[in-house]
Structure 1
């Protein structure tokens, strides 16, 4: 391939620097002169000498001259012809190159005729013709395999871009970049690299995104808003809040303050802000861009766990999604999606407007008694439904019940430690939940039933009507001992004005013996509704 182009270059060098020793060039000059002057060669006519020194003498006798600068012009035209052949033809293609070469030949002949007839000037074009015509023929042989190779390269580049696009859609930006390695820059590859950098931003891989932006700028300056995005990342990094190692724990956040940097994502969900924190991870407000739906995204970080422990916790986390996904009740958050990334797992669920009931858990901020009873009655009904699906929440507390005071909506959230009651994988001995609200059997690590949730709901009621809990201690061991062995403090000690019916309801719900509690969450819901009706009528009166 390249040897033929070198042949054209070699031909030009020989034609320029050895023209006086090549009869062919003199013959071309001679033929051109005869054509332009239309000199007769019949008997009795003026005889034109053959090429060589005689031809040069003849030119002088005809008052024609060859200027001193003609040698520089000839060499310049020869260089131009070489560039046209070895650079222009591959870029322009055979058809357009043939037209240009023909026009160039015609232009050279016309220019020579004008100089000869009007300026009595002769510039020998044999050297240029020797380069242009044979060189063009040589390049025609070169163009066929060149077209095939160029087509093959174009197909390979297209295939690499398609492969990279597929890998990017599968969430593998690093593999997508590898697919573009050594790929000549083109609009498609640059667009793909840009999309890869955007995804790296959203996946919190800020150093990798900055490197990809630099790679794009190295191929094409001013491409889209790459410079602006790179500057924002570098500024973000310099401020000490940007590109940090990707680690997550109960105190970390994904939200970025700089609007020039893409919002981080989990799966397809864009993170807007943090909503809260739990034992297993952080909860975020997210946006599903496909259907413009706001979701709450609960995360579970892998950073703190390793090996067998991590696998067990992963299994538990996804069983949570399985359990919650089976529930369809207006007072229970709906699970939409579950996913996993390299560093964490997440569950996307219905975003419940309002505030957790813990916001009304202080003595000076208590809700009205009828409101508390009605809200918890709806919670008990939802728990009764979940127990019917053989799912026990295991972590009922004010912080896991969302209440919207404007609309009155109630949602139970965070089935984060829910168990499928008949799951054959259930093992005893694991203590999960919030100790202040945990039932005695749960603290003992015994198998729990729906009555454990009614106990926790009773403690929640105690908290919302008094601002305190039945047991209080400075250590977990002391608290556990009190729950397992001591009588709970009477709610009347904290709120003397509490009606007898509500006191009896609380005492029944928080019995140490599960058999002495309400038979079901539905039975507790009925008791709560009756109490709410009584207290509501008293308040109206």
Structure 2
């Protein structure tokens, strides 16, 4: 086949010119063309190529290079001009390859980050469900700020707040605010906790002089175990009593606390062992005149007992001359307490701290409940040995003051002191010091109730005298016998065994 010698020479000249990057004519607009192509290439590499998968991006790059090559050769053949496309193609190829490599590495890194995120989030969830809030918080720190992570951080803050870890909760809320400033009410809670920085340290002390109830209404109600604390009910020698709510069954309970701060480190293990053992024993008591114990638990700084919340108030309010109950009503109340004690003694449980403050009475319904079974012994055994007597020494039996073995007869004596006070508004013994008081109880004779209140019968004088005998063997043989004696008085003096029906 014949060929045109001129065409062959032209192609040869063009290829040589391409090789040497020389041409007879250089377009005057070649710099503008290079700039335009560079801008278009950057636009493609930065915004279009990332949309493709690597294989598709490589194919598109190859098409662009081939297209530019064809344009270069065709322009050279047609116009005897060489365009600045070879440099553009080299730059495009190198930059495209680097972008593809960077995209691949970035995808791998992102995948690893999300895998780490998922693992950390699942670990944080597990720690949170187990109540290990510090570990859960540490696990969530490297996680991305997804809605699930932010929600879990918020829940951790709420639990720290309820567990009285207020400074930790403030830091958790602040971490949440740093990640997402308007997430729920995290900022408001963080600010409220920070304002309580100094008082918070006080409220976390569960001694008898400090309360768990927080002054700020912005905060969640504290919890002990599963119980939400609503308000303070009262204070005792060993801690504070709170009104709580069991959210699982919407039941109100009274929660009595035992502060570990009240005891030396060496005593603490013995204290805790006795507390839980006797609380368990008290929980087995089932009597209409005994406060029911539902649950017992422990926090880092205290132990607590959740028990039946009784409407009404303690008999403390009925021991002054101006607030004394009617005589018949006193008989009935003390008889019911004696029956409750008799039941407890049959279960081998001695109260050890019978006094008006531990007897709850609702005058409207007539309900009588004895509280705090088994708790007083813990206080007595641990504290009296070091000379710091807690409990109520004015109600203690002589053998209890001497440190002798305490039996049900001791409860009978304490109930006799309570009966004396409810009838007269006075105590049988008093002293300006514990030593003086103990001497009076062990050695002296009290004033007869009839001298303080002449309208009292000789029968009740005999009941009080028998209950307050200094020798346990001379008292009533059982609390049931004392209850029977009081009901006998009600029958003789008021014509009924239940005097409240007569009033």
What TM-score results when the alignment is normalised by the length of structure 1? 0.76
CA distance in 2, matches of 1:177, 1:191: 12
Between 1:101-110 and 1:216-225, the stretch displaced more is 101-110
CA distance in 2, matches of 1:320, 1:274: 24
Change (3 A) 1:138 1:536: same
1:168 to 2:124 alignment: no
CA contact (8 A) 1:201 1:262 kept: yes
String of CA shifts for 1:183-220, please: whole Å, max 9, x gaps.
Answer: 44333332222222112211222221111122222223
1:526 to 2:489 alignment: no
TM-fit CA distance, 1:179: 2.5
TM-fit CA distance, 1:505: 1.3
Residue correspondence of structure 1 range 248-327 to structure 2 within 5 A: 248-327=206-285
Between 1:372-381 and 1:157-166, the stretch displaced more is 157-166
Specify the SS of the correspondent of 1:391. coil
Specify the SS of the correspondent of 1:194. helix
CA contact (8 A) 1:283 1:296 kept: yes
- Residue 80 of structure 2 aligns with which residue? none
CA distance in 1, matches of 2:309, 2:58: 71
- Residue 246 of structure 1 aligns with which residue? 204
1:449 to 2:407 alignment: yes
CA contact (8 A) 2:61 2:96 kept: no
Change (3 A) 1:359 1:108: farther
CA contact (8 A) 2:320 2:426 kept: yes
1:157 to 2:117 alignment: yes
1:506 to 2:469 alignment: no
1:331 to 2:281 alignment: no
CA distance in 2, matches of 1:328, 1:294: 18
TM-fit CA distance, 1:245: 7.7
String of CA shifts for 1:339-389, please: whole Å, max 9, x gaps.
Answer: 212111111111111100111111111111222211121111111110000
1:130 to 2:93 alignment: yes
TM-fit CA distance, 1:490: 0.4
CA contact (8 A) 1:255 1:272 kept: yes
Specify the SS of the correspondent of 2:369. strand
String of CA shifts for 1:449-475, please: whole Å, max 9, x gaps.
Answer: 111111111111111111111112221
* Gapped regions of structure 1 (runs ≥ 5): 1-41, 111-121
Change (3 A) 1:58 1:522: same
- Residue 201 of structure 1 aligns with which residue? 161
Residue correspondence of structure 1 range 228-239 to structure 2 within 5 A: 228-237=188-197
CA distance in 2, matches of 1:520, 1:508: 12
CA contact (8 A) 2:120 2:140 kept: yes
TM-fit CA distance, 1:295: 1.2
- Aligned pair count? 471
Change (3 A) 1:103 1:331: farther
CA distance in 2, matches of 1:467, 1:224: 56
TM-fit CA distance, 1:427: 13
CA contact (8 A) 1:437 1:459 kept: yes
TM-fit CA distance, 1:126: 4.3
CA contact (8 A) 2:384 2:390 kept: no
- Residue 371 of structure 2 aligns with which residue? 413
CA contact (8 A) 2:61 2:93 kept: no
Specify the SS of the correspondent of 2:196. helix
TM-fit CA distance, 1:178: 2.4
Change (3 A) 1:427 1:277: closer
Q: Alpha carbon RMSD of aligned pairs, Å? A: 3.8
String of CA shifts for 1:415-473, please: whole Å, max 9, x gaps.
Answer: 253569xxxx9999797641111111111111111111111111111111111111122
What TM-score results when the alignment is normalised by the length of structure 2? 0.82
Residue correspondence of structure 1 range 341-420 to structure 2 within 5 A: 341-417=299-375
* Gapped regions of structure 2 (runs ≥ 5): 1-5, 68-82
TM-fit CA distance, 1:477: 1.1
- Residue 74 of structure 2 aligns with which residue? none
Question: 2:437 pairs with 466, 479, 494, which one?
Answer: 479
Residue correspondence of structure 1 range 137-148 to structure 2 within 5 A: 138=101, 142=105, 146-147=107-108
Residue correspondence of structure 1 range 58-77 to structure 2 within 5 A: 68=32, 71-77=34-40
CA contact (8 A) 1:502 1:531 kept: yes
CA distance in 2, matches of 1:465, 1:109: 114
String of CA shifts for 1:74-122, please: whole Å, max 9, x gaps.
Answer: 444444455459xx95xx7x75x77799899999999xxxxxxxxxxx9
TM-fit CA distance, 1:231: 1.8
Question: 2:424 pairs with 466, 489, 492, which one?
Answer: 466
CA contact (8 A) 2:203 2:211 kept: no
CA distance in 1, matches of 2:132, 2:422: 49
